[in-house]
Amino acid sequence: MMVKEETGSLGPVDAIEPKQISVKAPIPSPLSFLLFIYLITLYLRPQDWVPFMLFWPVDYIVFALLLGGSIVQVDAWSRLSKLPLLYMLMVWLAVIFLSNLAQGGEGLWYARQAFTEYGKSFLIFMCLFLFLNSAGQIRRLVWFQIFLSGLLAFQCIDQVANGVGWAGQHLGWDDGHGGRAKWVGLWDGMNVLALLFVIAFPFLIQFMFSPWSPFVRIVSLFFTILIFQGLLLTQSRGGLLASIVALFASLVLRFKPRTAVIIGAIVLVLAAPLVGFLTTRGFDDSDGSKSAAHRVDLWAAGLEMAKENPVFGVGKMRFKSAARDKTGLSLIAHNSYVENLGETGFPGLFIYISLSYLSIKGLWHVSRQVSDPKDRSLALALLASICSYAATSMFVTTDFILFYVQLGIAAAFCSLNGFHPRLTLNDIVWITLIEVGFVMFLRLFTALFFAGAMS
């Protein structure tokens, strides 16, 4: 029977006995191949560099195909209507629209632009949920994501070796430690490219242990080494820190805490050269980039935006222009929580945190209840991946379509296992405490930084 109870107290998954979850097996969709086509356009971005595709409306063509195919997913529509996360996303779209509309003047134009951009994310979330109607489909899609990440990692290796990437793009800015690998389109920034690599690690770590076959374990190890090399070549501080979070999150969820700490410590010792990289860049601005100091300036600006307009913020997708007015820096915050706080106010940040919270809650619950070892391993990988994404959001601006792809896959997996996480009063209290704690930490951190205590 389908599980209805809410998530209990947290504890190591290996310490509990999984319970049986059984749900009516849906008929696999013959149109799920459309999701693979979408991922090719999302990861490899042929529309941004292949000559004959430069003027094609690729996004609109792919979305039209996905929406057309989703109409026939009759059984999935009934599951979608029961999904609290869907309605939370609708509220998020309303907040995005109103945050701009409330500004007056050109607010309506910005509201339409932001609504269109995040409307695409909403649609891909729905399509993933509707098309993914078996654990096997989800595993195949995840492996395709890993393959595409590995391909981009190999591109990074080749780009650094030759100075020019496969799309003709040059290395990213040199901050004194060599040019940085990057891709094109959405991934023309080194930090966002690192994000693609980071979210692959939790799956690869899970696939290197039982119940997966020796062949799967060997392939996972190969892709781990390849993608990690790609991550290093982006020289992303946030990406490296988030990869450490991904490692420990994966190990703690997979093993008992003591075992996880031992394995994690061994890996960190073997990866000791990373420590030199982190301490070399860290907050060192001797190269003149002032990257770290600027980042804190922008965080302080985000707090000021929320203070001036705590309900609506300055409007979604308008952080850069507002930061320019306050600091003279036309830059993003490199922190999705700060950006959403400044752009959508305190209500908007609450909703944004809730999206990850609900997904984590659902995956944790399913990982404790599912009986199939491979499904359990996949649940833990999805859980660690979203936790890693949330951690990366502290160092990189991550609130774009990839986030909603992850949410869609997680929601589909939870639904297939009979669980649709909803917000309880207790959850609302926890999310509020998380938000308040984050804002207080941010205020303290910026105050200490500008006072010279952290220089």
Element (H, E) at 37: helix 33-43
What does the pLDDT look like over 336-366, one tens digit per residue? 999 999 999 999 999 999 999 999 999 999 9
Q: Three-class SS of residue 46?
A: helix
Residue 108 has pLDDT above 70, yes or no: yes
Is 435 in contact with 350 (CB distance < 8 Å)?
yes
CB-CB neighbours of 208 under 10 Å? 18
Residues 6+ apart with CB under 8 A from 399: 336, 339, 340, 352, 393
The pLDDT, as a whole number, for residue 9 is 35
pLDDT at site 383: 93
190 closest CA partner among 430, 407, 396: 396
The pLDDT, as a whole number, for residue 296 is: 87
The predicted-structure confidence for 171-220, as pLDDT tens digits, reads as follows: 987 655 568 999 999 999 888 899 899 999 999 999 999 899 999 999 99
Sign of CA dihedral 11, 17, 22, 25: positive
Q: Mean per-residue pLDDT for 415-443?
A: 94
Q: What are the distances in angstroms from CA 445 to CA 44, 248, 292, 297?
A: 38, 25, 13, 11
416 compared with 7, residue with greater pLDDT: 416
pLDDT tens profile 230-284: 999 998 888 888 888 888 788 887 776 555 556 655 655 555 555 455 444 444 4
CA angle, 335 then 422 then 254, to 5°:
65
Contact (CB, 8 A) for 450 and 314: no
CA 59 to chain centre: 20
Delimit the domains of the chain by residue range: 31-72, 82-131+294-455, 138-289
**pLDDT attached to residue 3:** 41
Q: What is the mean pLDDT of residues 440-454?
A: 82
Instruction: Give the residue-averaged pLDDT of 101-128.
Output: 92
